[in-house]
Amino acid sequence: MTLWTSADIAAATGGTASADFTVDAVTFDSREVIGGELFVAMKGEVTDGHRFIGTAIDRGAAGCLVSAPVEAPHVLVKDGLAGLTALGIEARKRASAKIIGVTGSVGKTSVKEALRLALSEVEPLHTHASVKSYNNHTGVPLSLARMPADSRFGIFEMGMNHAGELSALTRLVRPDIAIITAIAPAHIEFFENEAAIADAKAEIFEGLTPGGTAILPLDSPHYVRLRARAERFADNVLTFGLDKRADVHVIRSAIVEHGTVVQAVVGDVEIAYTAQVAGEHWLSNAMATLAAAHAAGADIAAAALGIAQLQGLAGRGAQHEIPWGNGTVRLLDESYNANSASMKAALAVLADTATEGRRIAVLGAMKELGDRSDEYHAELAAPIRAAGADPVILVGEEMQPLAAELGCALLPNATAAEEWLRSELKAGDTVLVKGSNSIGLSRIISAFRGEAA
């Protein structure tokens, strides 16, 4: 199915087409090309996408968006990123879809994926969502540009680590529904305090369309602040959470052999489903998802069926049973990123995980915490003890205060942690692996699953 014609692309970007061509996808990564794509060549600080045009064409790209003439079919523009952004803006203009924007310090990718599954149960062929964590100034325009014109639902994740970034992104997405999942001290190095993070996240409401709905976590200590910002831009406000005063909340839940049975209320409707993921943070994510589905006018029973399909995402809660010795070990993969809130949530899951052996925590340093880094790291001691984690392996110099608090090993890198596990792991053990992405603990998961690191 044609996504864009060369004439469409030229009109949207103000560029000049070298030939007639059609594309059915858009990418700026030549490794993603499988045939039929528009390859967007952007000049960055590290490399120039024009270097990979040959590779993209050889792999089957139908055309390119370029800022310098090339031999391949192309649309010539002044700047690649500006061209991609213009294409994303045009995609949003031509869409009649209900658009949902998602942000938050934690949980935004999980909610985006849950919404993709939930709304795909309602419109299986007409639900579009951003992929991976494409949530910044390049990823959001790309995700918009990939949205088919006949989409009924569009779901877009938006991230930030400085004030003002979400303000720009939300004006591109122009959501009909805007969600804040939670506020936590992620990237607090760049903010005065957590309240300032809440203000920056609340920028998502600035792009709401007329009649738009803001969806807020009632459980958040910053709820009043978020609501005040939301009411400036939203015509409707819905709340979600574990607090039973929320518009969408958990009535009760119970961990069973194959997941978590959840009973929830969505407005005036009660719904029950069995989730494949565990932890209070997943319950909260599910309530945010149900609230958005409700605001979008989707069938709630169908949406719940979609949420029930959600499994832990790679680096964000996936669980793996690995043959080991005369049995198996379980890996809890939370290796994608970390802040104090997500660390505590992951440790709570470890505490609730049934295991025949030890509960082992391999924890990497949390980055961008500023002057309070030592405090945030040291305060993990209590949830670690509550989880019954023993032994605890810490990686990265920022973990020094926690290592002193616990009297446990501090290792220099992920390789050392992997070597320790290989020598000490026993059948029946359960291992939580979590840390900031730059620490590289994902290599442990990959290595134990037999994947390339």
Binding positions for ATP: 104-110
**Three-state SS string across the chain, please?**
CCCEEHHHHHHHHCCEECCCCEECEEECCHHHCCCCEEEECCECCCCEHHHHHHHHHHCCCCEEEECCCCCCCEEECCCHHHHHHHHHHHHHHHCCCEEEEEECCCCHHHHHHHHHHHHHCCCCCCEEECCCCCCCCCHHHHHHHCCCCCCCEEEEECCCCCCCHHHHHHHHHCCCEEEECCCCCCCHHHCCCHHHHHHHHHHHHHHCCCCCEEEEECCCCCHHHHHHHHHHHCCEEEEEECCCCCCEEEEEEEEECCEEEEEEEECCEEEEEEECCCCHHHHHHHHHHHHHHHHCCCCHHHHHHHHHCCCCECCEEEEEEEEECCEEEEEEEECCCCCHHHHHHHHHHHHHCCCCCCEEEEEECCCCCHHHHHHHHHCCHHHHHHHCEEEEEEECHHHHHHHHHHCCEEECCHHHHHHHHHHHCCCCCEEEEECCHHHCCHHHHHHHCCCCC
Cis peptide before 391 (omega within 30 of 0): yes
Alpha carbon distance 433, 430 (integer Å): 10
Q: Are strands 430-434 and 359-364 parallel, antiparallel or unpaired?
A: parallel
Alpha carbon distance 328, 98 (integer Å): 45
**Three-state SS string across 70-113, please?**
CCCCEEECCCHHHHHHHHHHHHHHHCCCEEEEEECCCCHHHHHH
Cα atoms found within 13 Å of the Cα of residue 106, Cβ hemisphere only: 27
Q: Which residues carry a binding-site annotation?
A: 104-110
